[in-house]
Amino acid sequence: MNMKKYGIIAGVVILLIGVGLFSMNKSASVVPNNTAPSISPSAVVNEPNTVRISNYEFLQGKITVKKGTTVTWKNEDIAKHTVTVEEGITEGPRSEFFGKGEEYRYTFNTVGNYPYFCEPHPYMKGSVEVIE
């Protein structure tokens, strides 16, 4: 065999060894079937009529509720946020700044759509649709 063939064979062998090592590394992080993965408490929260604020976004940011329902916004971020109805809408949520672990509540008594945002972070948006 000439040197070129040895080089190709050596390259294929190295590639296969690398793929094998990568596969072994990857499978080491798999959780066995008989144990449950740990989940942070904030990842489990799915309360009705609640909007969580995490990683600079309103999670469950578009919700629909019945007239007379109180919606709660829970701040899980390190930053302070607001819940502010968009300009031109006469009623709706208008919170002060509230920080991590704090909540803001607003009761919607009128049918309609209430788009809102965070004043210091205007790219954070959500909406509440209120039905009969």
Q: Dump pLDDT digits (tens) for 58-71.
A: 998 899 999 999 99
Q: Does residue 104 belong to any structural domain of this protein?
A: yes
Q: Beta-carbon neighbour count of residue 24 at 10 Å? A: 9
Q: Does residue 38 belong to any structural domain of this protein?
A: no
Q: Does residue 85 belong to any structural domain of this protein?
A: yes
| CATH classification of the domain holding 101 | 2.60.40.420
Q: Does residue 9 belong to any structural domain of this protein?
A: no
Q: Which of 88, 91, 87, 92 is nearest to 122 (CA)?
A: 87
pLDDT at 76 > cutoff 60: yes
Q: Does residue 41 belong to any structural domain of this protein?
A: no
DSSP string, the chain: --HHHHHHHHHHHHHHHHHHHHHHHHHTTPPPTTSPPP--HHHH---TTEEEEETTEEET-EEEEETTEEEEEEE-SSS-B--EEPTT-SSS-B---B-TT-EEEEEE-S-EEEEEE-SS-TT-EEEEEEE-
Q: Which of 93, 71, 96, 73 is nearest to 84 (CA)?
A: 93
Q: Does residue 71 belong to any structural domain of this protein?
A: yes
Q: Does residue 124 belong to any structural domain of this protein?
A: yes
At 37 the pLDDT is: 38
Measured over all CA atoms, what is the biggest interatomic distance in the chain, rounded to whole angstroms? 86
Structural domain range at position 92: 47-131
Distance CA 96, CA 25 (A): 49
Q: What total number of domains does the chain contain?
A: 1
At 61 the pLDDT is: 83
pLDDT at 13 > cutoff 80: no
Q: Does residue 31 belong to any structural domain of this protein?
A: no
What is the pLDDT confidence band of residue 42, given thresholds at 50, 70 and 90? very low
Q: What percent of the chain has pLDDT over 90?
A: 60
